[in-house]
């Protein structure tokens, strides 16, 4: 894989991770003020943790530790 392709993929993954964290943080803030139920917050957290684990697994599988 070329250096430019790796840089582009890194940029895309970085944006996705940042967006997931923003969604999780927003859900947490809404849960604190009572706009989101605890069940919804758990669902958002599970999606965030699961998708982050998938990204980490793919990175380790592709590039090693």
pLDDT for res 62: 83
pLDDT for res 5: 86
Q: Structurally, how many domains does the chain consist of?
A: 1
- 37: containing domain: 3-63
Q: What is the torsion angle, in degrees rounded to the nearest 10, for the CA atoms of residue 57, residue 10, residue 49 and residue 39?
A: -150
Record the pTM: 0.52
Is 45 in contact with 27 (CB distance < 8 Å)? yes
Residues 6+ apart with CB under 8 A from 13: 55
Residues 6+ apart with CB under 8 A from 37: 31
Give dist(CA 13, CA 4) in Å, integer: 14
pLDDT tens figures, 6-53 = 888 788 777 777 777 777 888 888 889 999 898 988 888 888 788 878
pLDDT for res 33: 93
């Amino acid at each position: 894989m070329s250096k430019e392709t790796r840089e582009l993929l890194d940029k895309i993954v970085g944006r996705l991770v940042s967006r997931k964290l923003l969604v999780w943080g927003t859900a947490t803030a809404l849960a604190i003020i009572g706009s989101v139920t605890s069940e919804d917050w758990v669902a958002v957290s599970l999606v965030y943790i699961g998708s982050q684990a998938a990204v980490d697994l793919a990175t380790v599988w592709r590039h090693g530790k």
